[in-house]
Structure 1
Amino acid sequence: MSEVRVHNFSISLDGFGTGDVQSADAPFGHAGERLHEWMFATRFWDKTGGSLGADNAFADRNSVGIGAEIMGAGKFGPPGWQDDADWKGWWGPNPPFHSPVIVLTHRPRPAIEMEGGTTFHFLDATPAEAIEQAKTAADGKDVRIGGGATVIRDCVAAGLVDHMHLVQVPIVLGRGVRVWDGLEALEDSFDIEATSTPSGVTHLTFTKRR
């Protein structure tokens, strides 16, 4: 049975998944790349010089068994990308998803087929509707919620996420978009495990109780 998963989503100590004032030059706002430095040091990211430790083991689960992805408008592009008919995402002609990707936006546009098996579909829908469509596209495989923080939060609040892997990075951002808002008593619905690694991050895994 197809599951809905979150992997490798980094948050600050105060729960922000991205910084403030996002732009084309600063996709994560004032956070820069500080939330993701742990990943850049892994073999998952750096195929020749990256480490093979615990961080890599967690990161490497990102794509296993995934058949489709859902992301928010803020992950697909900077503010105002909907006004640029030529915008096709941050990732160049061959995005790393290699699967159908549903982009949630209030301003849908025709699908964009990219190299490597990625096709972006633009949908104005509720989380439940988007997940239903993504499961159909995934053809029996799992669906990954790729972010940003608002999409993850909405899907968790609606009870739609089966497994969630968040990486708590030891920085304080103070502003941006938080994951935790409105998710009071999340621990009642998930079994939670925490694993700290030498890089200083803590891997938090949430498994939905049946």
Structure 2
Amino acid sequence: MSRVRVGGFSISLDGFGAGPGQSLDHPLGRRGDELHQWLFGTRFFQSMIGQPGGSEGVDQAYADRAMRGFGAFILGRNMFGPVRGPWPDEAWTGWWGDDPPYHAPTFVLTHHRRDPIEMAGGTTFIFVTDGIEAALEQARAAAGDLDVKIGGGVETVRQYLCAGAIDEMHLALSPVVLGQGEALLAGIDLTALGFRVTEHQPGEHATHVVLAR
């Protein structure tokens, strides 16, 4: 049976998964890009943006693994873009250009209806207005025998954690403190949810921790 996983989710030493003040100029919130420095230099990321080279090693291995084996993705609306409220038009199609990195059905949580968007490379954004359970049901059906990835952002991961829907979570603990932003695990008892640490390994620019139920 397919699993529901979080992969390659970066958090700061003080527990924030995004900086404050997300905007068009700051997709990850202010200073949020500092959380992902471990990823940007890897061969995986460089290949994703069409560039040669990139680092090997532990960070590369976890980066590659964070996008493998998934047949569907779930994103919060903030992860899809900075537009708020009713969709003003059909112009915004995500942060990633014409060929997003998902290459599979990608379900976007929203309160406002929008028709699906077919992108290059096999990504189709499907907008779900009836909650996290409905999105997960659709994602499981689309994924088949492959896993479903909860891609973020912070609030979306928190909702699925609290619902007991996540089977495995890979966190990349970045050596930075943000002081403020969106706290990933505040108020969530991972032990009560059945999680235990199954892997922990220092990488070149982050420490990688895998928790599973």
Q: Which TM-score band (shorter chain)?
A: over 0.9
1:124-163 equivalent positions in 2, closer than 5 A: 124-163=129-168
Alignment-derived partner of residue 3 in structure 1: 3
Q: Is the CA contact 1:10–1:36 (under 8 Å) kept in the aligned structure 2?
A: yes
Task: Give the letter for the 2:202 counterpart.
Answer: S
Q: Is the CA contact 1:44–1:56 (under 8 Å) kept in the aligned structure 2?
A: yes
Residue 105 of structure 1 is aligned with which of 83, 107, 110?
A: 110
Alignment-derived partner of residue 75 in structure 1: 79
Where 2:7 maps in the other structure, the secondary structure is: strand
Alignment-derived partner of residue 196 in structure 1: 202
Where 2:200 maps in the other structure, the secondary structure is: strand
Where 2:100 maps in the other structure, the secondary structure is: coil
Where 1:154 maps in the other structure, the secondary structure is: helix
Where 1:206 maps in the other structure, the secondary structure is: strand
Aligned length: 206
Task: Give the letter for the 1:43 counterpart.
Answer: R
Q: 1:32 to 1:63 in 2, by over 3 A?
A: closer
Measure the CA separation in 2 of the matches of 1:63 and 1:80: 27
Measure the CA separation in 2 of the matches of 1:172 and 1:84: 37
Measure the CA separation in 1 of the matches of 2:88 and 2:174: 34
Quote the offset at 1:123 in angstroms.
0.7
Give the RMSD, CA atoms, in angstroms.
1.4
Quote the offset at 1:32 in angstroms.
4.1
Residue 66 of structure 1 is aligned with which of 66, 70, 73?
A: 70
Where 2:140 maps in the other structure, the secondary structure is: helix
Measure the CA separation in 1 of the matches of 2:14 and 2:131: 27
Q: 1:182 to 1:84 in 2, by over 3 A?
A: farther
